[in-house]
Amino acid sequence: MLNIDLVFEILGWAGSLLLVISILQTRIVWLRVLNLAACVVLLVYNFWLPSWPMIAMNAALVAINVVNLVRLRSATVPNVQGSVQKSHDSPAGRRSGTAESGGTIRR
């Protein structure tokens, strides 16, 4: 018989591992995607516990990651030839720390 408590414990550890892996990313898009996935997994785990402070924090992080992924996606616009260029009006285009400005975090 499958022990549901064990399944959720494994889910919690998997979410935590995914969170750590997300923080190790040097590409901001991968960091956001993996962090979003980790927060969703941890939301499920924390609803099972239930741990309301952790639910609130992970829900907020889901929203932050989604908003930032949308901004990153809109920061690149296709030009007439079909290649992608940075929009000069986007927050991502003005940030320091991108590969174009010599920083270590890449899109």
Read off the DSSP letter of residue 49.
T
CA distance 57 to 52: 9
Say if residue 25 is exposed, middle or buried (CB neighbours under 10 Å; 0-12, 13-18, 19+): middle
Predicted confidence (pLDDT) per residue in 76-98, tens digit:
766 656 665 555 444 554 454 44
Q: Is residue 17 in a domain? A: no
Q: What is the reported pTM?
A: 0.71
Residue 51 backbone class (left: φ over 0; alpha: ψ -120 to 50; beta: rest): beta
Q: How many CB atoms lie within 10 A of CB 45?
A: 23
CA distance 29 to 37: 12
Predicted confidence (pLDDT) per residue in 38-90, tens digit:
999 999 999 999 999 999 999 999 999 999 999 999 987 666 566 655 554 44
CA distance 99 to 90: 16
Q: Is residue 14 in a domain? A: no
Q: Is residue 10 in a domain? A: no
Q: Is residue 43 in a domain? A: yes
Q: Is residue 4 in a domain? A: no
* Full domain range(s) for residue 48: 26-76+86-107
Q: Is residue 6 in a domain? A: no
Q: Is residue 2 in a domain? A: no
Q: Which residue has the higher pLDDT, 30 or 105?
A: 30
- 27: Cβ contacts below 8 Å, ≥ 6 apart: 105, 106, 107
Q: 89 is written with which tokens?
A: 């009006």
Give the pLDDT score at 90: 47
Q: Is residue 13 in a domain? A: no
Give the pLDDT score at 106: 62
Q: How many domains does the chain have?
A: 1
Q: How many CB atoms lie within 10 A of CB 22?
A: 19
